[in-house]
């Protein structure tokens, strides 16, 4: 049913110009994610997984086709509007954690709230709560280089939750972690999905992680080949 | 909101300490130069104004042999009674009085110093000289007709720590050129070192003391009607004196100077020096600004990753612009603040050393609040201005490209 769809890609094409050559990263892709769903996207390198992820996360616009977020077409929106949507609706978790190195864990988590105009007191309070949620309450003043990979990724998850988004987009969230830390991260994501009812879209190579998802979407050569 | 951007920018600058310091040096030097040199220049200007400013605007001086040096010393062709009388006849002139000025040796408290003595004539002319010097007694009284073997001294002799190591007070006896004089009064402080250290005595006494014939003068002080045209009076005096002294225009062996003229000339020179200083400082600040621009462009390239991350978590183009813009502005103003402090210390230190070395109160630093605030504000504007283009570039980065770059 359409009203339940939180994300929908309709015949989406994404073409990059690489020198004189046009590269089609996505070739008329169709798929949707329902509110509260946990979807894994799998596919070989260069299949277009990350490109699809960027479009879902409003980081990029399609060359052709439509992208709907909560029923709204975002395909023609300005960068400023997209930034607003990203800030409020979507939380990103990257493979390489992507924390700002000169900010503490607390400041990294509070950063998205600055861009939404949340006042300092509220920001600090919420960032602390989120760090406690990912069991880093005692590491708030540590800089990223003072934290282990698993801890950094937990900070990144806390940051993704800062503005209480409906959707968490995780791009290979355990790709840079050992299996123990990876398991912890996937547990947190799974808990968020179960308890907080967050919609989670996760790109992963790892079949064991993909098993946590309700549905696995397979992409190859810029097309969905299974799980549409 | 903007406060948060300042905090973020400060954190970034603190994170790259060495680079931030190096970037700030250009602005720092420029602002330090402006603050130090302008305040010393202003100090010199106000000292010079104090030197001449005590003179009224309704007086002028006719000097034998011309020049800005100490008048009267080394005069070869002195002024005469003829010339004095001619000046008194000029329309608009309220009064004129001749005086001689000689370097003399003073001894008091068994210590000697050199100063220069100024003669004061009797009768109505005394009033003219008193008006010219705006003469009032802070201790004792002024000289009067018939006073003999008495002197009226400049305020410096009354101060503790003078050349004699002891304050001279009315009633003290001082030895001048080997003869004893009684001090009758001390003049109010004028802020002019030459006047404050002068020895005034009645004309007969000084002429006897230094053996100068009657009827010749080194300087004629002229008081004119306040509504009169000073230039017209000056021209009339020059015309008359040329005729009497039989000299052609342009070959005068005398000069007519008004305090306003002297001030204007000195201020012109100072203004020229200040403009030169401003140009040098502006070049330094410009180079500093380009340094900031260079650093900010490098920062944009280095922090493409951070820009991508911030955009992914909701930063708008305007937020990114503001972040880089504030950062470069902060680089500028931090350079400005430190430059101002350094300039202040340099100016104060140089003025202190100058006073010690040259023994003159002319060297002082005149540092105003406006100069400091203006310099810091200017540095912020320069920093922001040169940070604008890098900030625009940062704000326009495509988030996907920025994030791809890290992979």
Provide DSSP, A118-150: --HHHHHHHHHHHHHHTT-TT-TT--GGGS-HH
Which residues of B fall within a CB distance of 8 Å from A97?
none
User: Contact at 8 Å (CB) between B222 and B93?
Assistant: yes
Q: Which residue has the higher pLDDT, B145 or B284?
A: B145
Which pLDDT band, with edges at 50, 70 and 90, does A3 fall under? very low
What is the count of structural domains for chain B? 2
Structure confidence at residue B262 (pLDDT): 67
What mean pLDDT, rounded, does chain A reach? 89
Domain around B312: 2-52+263-404
Q: What value does the mean pLDDT take over residues B110-123?
A: 90
* Residue B407, pLDDT above cutoff 70: no
Structure confidence at residue B186 (pLDDT): 93
Say how far apart CA B134 and CA B192 lie, in whole Å. 12
* Residue B197, pLDDT above cutoff 80: yes
Which pLDDT band, with edges at 50, 70 and 90, does B55 fall under? low
> Based on the domain organization, do B137 and B268 belong to the same domain?
no
Which residues of A fall within a CB distance of 8 Å from B403?
54, 59, 94, 98
CATH superfamily of A5-226: P-loop containing nucleotide triphosphate hydrolases (3.40.50.300)
Q: How close B361 comes to chain A (CA, Å)?
A: 52
Structure confidence at residue B256 (pLDDT): 87
* Residue B361, pLDDT above cutoff 80: no
**Among candidates B11, B314, B318 on the partner chain, residue whose Cβ is nearest the Cβ of A87:** B314
First to last CA, chain B: 32
Cβ distance of B310 and A96 shorter than 8 Å: no
Say how far apart CA B167 and CA B139 lie, in whole Å. 12
> Based on the domain organization, do B47 and B60 belong to the same domain?
no
Which residues of A fall within a CB distance of 8 Å from B398?
60
Domain boundaries, given as residue ranges, for chain A: 5-226
pLDDT digits (tens, 9 = 90+) for A167-202: 999 998 988 888 888 888 888 988 889 888 899 999
Q: CB-hemisphere CA count at 13 Å for B215?
A: 2
**Among candidates B1, B312, B318 on the partner chain, residue whose Cβ is nearest the Cβ of A59:** B312
> Based on the domain organization, do B44 and B61 belong to the same domain?
no
- Which of these ranges, A53-62, B2-11, B68-77, has the smallest mean pLDDT? B68-77
Q: Which token pair is A26?
A: 């996505």
What mean pLDDT, rounded, does chain B reach? 86
For Cα atoms B398, B400, B401, give the angle at the middle one, nearest 5 degrees: 65
> Which domain-ending residue is among B241, B257, B273?
B257
Cβ distance of A59 and B310 shorter than 8 Å: no
Say how far apart CA B157 and CA B197 lie, in whole Å. 7
Cβ distance of B403 and A98 shorter than 8 Å: yes
Structure confidence at residue A116 (pLDDT): 92
> Based on the domain organization, do B229 and B245 belong to the same domain?
yes
Which residues of A fall within a CB distance of 8 Å from B1?
114, 117
> Which domain-ending residue is among B238, B257, B276?
B257
> Based on the domain organization, do B158 and B243 belong to the same domain?
yes
> Based on the domain organization, do B232 and B138 belong to the same domain?
yes
Percentage of chain B exceeding pLDDT 90: 28
* Residue B372, pLDDT above cutoff 60: yes
User: Contact at 8 Å (CB) between B104 and B209?
Assistant: yes
Distances (CA, A) of A214 to A41, A106, A206, B185, B337: 11, 32, 15, 108, 60
Structure confidence at residue B121 (pLDDT): 92
Structure confidence at residue B349 (pLDDT): 92
Cβ distance of B313 and A60 shorter than 8 Å: no
Structure confidence at residue B66 (pLDDT): 46
Structure confidence at residue A125 (pLDDT): 95
Determine what percent of chain A falls in helix, strand and coil, rounding each to the nearest 5.
35, 30, 35
> Based on the domain organization, do B138 and B272 belong to the same domain?
no
Nearest residue in chain B measured CA to CA from A112 = B313
> Based on the domain organization, do B48 and B64 belong to the same domain?
no
Which residues of B fall within a CB distance of 8 Å from A94?
403
pLDDT digits (tens, 9 = 90+) for A141-169: 999 999 999 999 999 999 999 999 999 99
Nearest residue in chain B measured CA to CA from A115 = B315
Structure confidence at residue B261 (pLDDT): 66
Which pLDDT band, with edges at 50, 70 and 90, does B258 fall under? confident
Structure confidence at residue A63 (pLDDT): 92
pLDDT digits (tens, 9 = 90+) for A68-87: 998 889 888 888 888 988 89
Residue B59 pairs in a beta bridge with B223
Q: Where are the alpha helices (DSSP H) in A38-148?
A: 49-56, 79-89, 105-115, 120-133
> Based on the domain organization, do B164 and B308 belong to the same domain?
no
Q: What value does the mean pLDDT take over residues B110-120?
A: 90
Structure confidence at residue A155 (pLDDT): 95
Nearest to A134 by CA among A162, A98, A95, A113: A162
> Based on the domain organization, do B104 and B175 belong to the same domain?
yes
Q: Which residue has the higher pLDDT, A227 or A71?
A: A71
Q: What value does the mean pLDDT take over residues A15-21?
A: 87
- Which H/E stretch holds residue A218? strand A215-220
**Among candidates A60, A86, A94 on the partner chain, residue whose Cβ is nearest the Cβ of B314:** A86
Residues present in chain B in total:
407
**Among candidates A102, A107, A111 on the partner chain, residue whose Cβ is nearest the Cβ of B313:** A111
Cβ distance of B314 and A116 shorter than 8 Å: yes
> Based on the domain organization, do B275 and B251 belong to the same domain?
no
> Based on the domain organization, do B208 and B280 belong to the same domain?
no
Say how far apart CA A2 and CA A33 lie, in whole Å. 10
Which pLDDT band, with edges at 50, 70 and 90, does B232 fall under? confident
> Which B positions 275-314 lie with beta carbon below 8 A of chain A?
305-306, 308-314
Which residues of A fall within a CB distance of 8 Å from B401?
none
pLDDT digits (tens, 9 = 90+) for A76-122: 888 888 898 889 999 999 988 899 998 999 999 999 999 999 999 99
């Amino acid at each position: 049913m359409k009203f339940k769809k939180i994300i929908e890609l309709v015949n989406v094409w994404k073409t990059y110009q690489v020198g004189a050559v046009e590269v089609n990263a996505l070739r008329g892709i169709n798929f949707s994610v329902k509110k509260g769903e946990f979807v894994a996207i799998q596919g070989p390198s260069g299949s277009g997984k990350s490109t699809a992820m960027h479009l879902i996360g409003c980081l990029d616009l399609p060359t052709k086709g439509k992208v709907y977020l909560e029923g709204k077409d975002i395909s023609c929106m300005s960068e400023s509007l997209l930034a607003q949507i990203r800030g409020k609706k979507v939380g990103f978790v990257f493979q390489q954690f992507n924390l700002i190195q000169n900010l503490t864990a607390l400041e990294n988590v509070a950063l998205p709230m600055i861009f939404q105009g949340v006042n300092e007191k509220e920001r600090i309070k919420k960032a602390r709560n989120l760090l406690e949620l990912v069991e880093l309450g005692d590491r708030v003043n540590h800089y990223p280089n003072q934290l282990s990979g698993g801890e950094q990724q937990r900070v990144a998850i806390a940051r993704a939750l800062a503005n209480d988004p409906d959707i968490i987009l995780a791009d290979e969230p355990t790709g840079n972690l050992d299996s123990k830390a990876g398991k912890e991260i996937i547990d947190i994501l799974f808990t968020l999905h179960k308890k907080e009812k967050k919609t989670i879209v996760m790109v992963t190579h790892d079949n064991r992680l993909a098993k946590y998802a309700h549905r696995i979407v397979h992409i190859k050569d810029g097309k969905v080949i299974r799980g549409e | 909101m903007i406060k948060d951007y300042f905090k973020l920018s400060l954190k970034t600058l603190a994170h790259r300490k060495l680079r931030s310091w190096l970037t700030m040096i250009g602005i720092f030097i420029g602002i330090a130069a402006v603050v130090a040199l302008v305040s010393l220049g202003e100090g010199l200007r106000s000292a010079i104004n104090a030197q001449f400013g005590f003179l009224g605007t309704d007086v002028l001086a006719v000097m034998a042999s011309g020049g800005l040096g100490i008048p009267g010393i080394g005069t070869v062709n002195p002024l005469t009674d003829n010339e004095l009388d001619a000046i008194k006849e000029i329309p608009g002139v309220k009064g004129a009085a001749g005086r001689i000025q000689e370097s003399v040796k003073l001894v008091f408290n068994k210590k000697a110093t050199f100063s220069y003595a100024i003669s004061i004539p009797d009768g109505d002319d005394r009033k003219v000289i008193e008006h010219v010097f705006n003469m009032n007694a802070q201790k004792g009284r002024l000289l009067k007709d018939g006073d003999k073997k008495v002197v009226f001294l400049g305020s410096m002799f009354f101060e503790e720590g003078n050349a004699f190591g002891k304050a001279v007070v009315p009633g003290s006896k001082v030895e001048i050129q080997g003869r004893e004089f009684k001090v009758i009064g001390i003049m109010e402080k004028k802020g002019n070192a030459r006047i404050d250290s002068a020895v005034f005595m009645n004309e007969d006494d000084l002429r006897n003391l230094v053996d100068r014939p009657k009827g010749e003068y080194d300087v004629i002080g002229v008081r004119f009607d306040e509504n009169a045209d000073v230039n017209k009076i000056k021209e009339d005096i020059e015309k008359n004196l040329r005729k009497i002294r039989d000299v052609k225009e342009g070959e005068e062996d005398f000069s007519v100077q008004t305090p306003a003229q002297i001030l204007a000339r000195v201020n012109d020179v100072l203004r020229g020096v200040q403009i030169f200083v401003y140009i040098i400082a502006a070049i330094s600040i410009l180079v500093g600004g380009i340094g900031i621009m260079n650093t900010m462009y490098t920062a944009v390239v280095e922090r493409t990753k951070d820009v991508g991350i911030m955009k992914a978590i909701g930063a708008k183009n305007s937020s990114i612009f503001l972040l880089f813009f504030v950062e470069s502005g902060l680089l500028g103003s931090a350079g400005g603040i430190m430059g101002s402090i350094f300039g202040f210390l340099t100016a104060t230190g140089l003025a202190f050393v100058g006073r010690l070395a040259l023994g003159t109160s002319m060297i002082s630093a005149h540092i105003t609040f406006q100069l400091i605030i203006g310099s810091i504000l200017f540095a912020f504007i320069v920093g922001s201005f040169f940070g604008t283009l890098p900030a625009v570039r940062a704000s326009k980065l495509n988030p996907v490209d920025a994030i791809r770059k890290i992979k």
